[in-house]
Structure 1
Amino acid sequence: MIRLFTALEIPPEVSGKLTQLQRGLDGARWIEPHDFHITLRFLGDIPENLADDADEALSQIPMTPFPVEIEGLGEFGGAEPRALWARVKPSEPLRVLQGRHESAMRRIGLKPETRNFLPHITIARLKRADPAEIAQFIQAHNLFATPGFTATRFALFSSRASKGGGPYVIEKTYPEDAFEPDEEWADSET
């Protein structure tokens, strides 16, 4: 069995802005910058042969580059907050890509995702965090935004079966011939 999910990678300049938020919150276990991502579809713990089917299905999904914007913060858990996240601005290309992932995974036999798609980047796992303190933190950073970036590929990630996931490993990227995000930013800085 292998635990898999699909996601968009986060470029270093955006990760750097996200890490600037990672302080001053009791009960927060901050996510490592190299583990930031925008989940498209959680596959769960699946057998190796189904992972091969997922790879084949994912390789058939077209990927047209599109802009990604990040603005604002939120939390999951309500009265018992369990995660703090940065909001990814919804867009039609992102919605279409996520829908294609959902359809592809259903075709290989995975159960439908029951949660609505809310694009986000988890920046902290929360344990015994004070809901009022979380609300104040979110309010204090309500104008938070990062530079936009262009998503040029998506990835199949694996994770170990642990509380909170991570570390995450990129198993494969789609399309395979897409450049790595680091290459674009390195070129643009010269």
Structure 2
Amino acid sequence: MNEQPQPPTVRVFIALAPPDRAKEELDRELGRARAAHPRLRWNRIEDWHITLAFLGELPACTVPLLRAPLAALAADHEPFPLALRGSGTFDGRVLWSGLDGDLDAMRLLAEGVRSVVKSRGVAFADRPLRPHLTLARARRGDQSSVEGIAEGIADFTGSTWPAERLHLVGSNAGRGPEPIRYRDIEAWPLGHGKA
């Protein structure tokens, strides 16, 4: 029996990325926690992002269909201020930093992103937006360290920065034992369509 080869796929999401200075502020705040909890799976600082829509595994041929409408959407949205603030956990295992700033503008952009994706016929789990930046994950049975770190940085407030680019990101998640790595497939500046 001949098996048909599967088309290549890519794991995709659409996100905002804090600038280096904002990430470095939070990274300094996390320095002692990183040293004290090396068993946590810490996300690489260069991979920190705020997911607006997680699309999952897509056929690679789908990605080009998203480029032009996402570029147009980005051009129609002005940059808006955000700041990394506070922390918490999901299910006691995922450590995250929260956000402050113009969260209404971010929600409008996320709604636009999701509308674009649906208009291109891409099926994805349209989960409610929970604005956050994932920092680390605990292994089963190691949740107390995550909760303690979240309490320790609960009062963190970073500098305000402008969200200026919309990113279409690919990852290697689920492909072997190597750590998750993210890469920009493409990114578009916000507000460049306004006269």
Report TM bin, short chain: 0.7 to 0.9
1:160 aligns with 2:172: yes
How many residues align? The count is 175
Match of 2:24 in 1: 16
Report deviation, 1:177: 9.4
1:169 aligns with 2:169: no
Match of 2:140 in 1: 128
Contact 2:95/2:147 (<8 A) preserved: no
Structure 2 residue identity aligned to 1:131 = Q
Between the aligned partners of 2:105 and 2:182, the Cα distance in structure 1 is: 25
Structure 2 residue identity aligned to 1:63 = H
1:7 aligns with 2:19: no
Match of 2:162 in 1: 150
Structure 2 residue identity aligned to 1:74 = G
Structure 1 unaligned runs (5+)? 179-190
Contact 1:75/1:84 (<8 A) preserved: yes
User: After the TM superposition, which residues 1-190 of structure 1 pair with which residues of structure 2 at under 5 Å, given as runs?
Assistant: 1-20=9-28, 21-22=30-31, 23=34, 24-25=36-37, 27-61=39-73, 62-78=76-92, 81=93, 83-89=94-100, 91-162=103-174, 166-175=180-189
Structure 2 unaligned runs (5+)? 1-8
TM-score by length of 1: 0.82
Structure 2 residue identity aligned to 1:130 = D
Moved more, 111-120 or 91-100: 111-120
1:49-76 deviation line (CA, Å, top 9, x unaligned): 2111111221220231100121111111
Contact 1:102/1:113 (<8 A) preserved: no
- Aligned Cα RMSD in Å? 2.3
Report deviation, 1:84: 0.8
Report deviation, 1:112: 4.9
TM-score by length of 2: 0.80
| Larger Cα-atom Rg | 2
Between the aligned partners of 1:38 and 1:119, the Cα distance in structure 2 is: 7
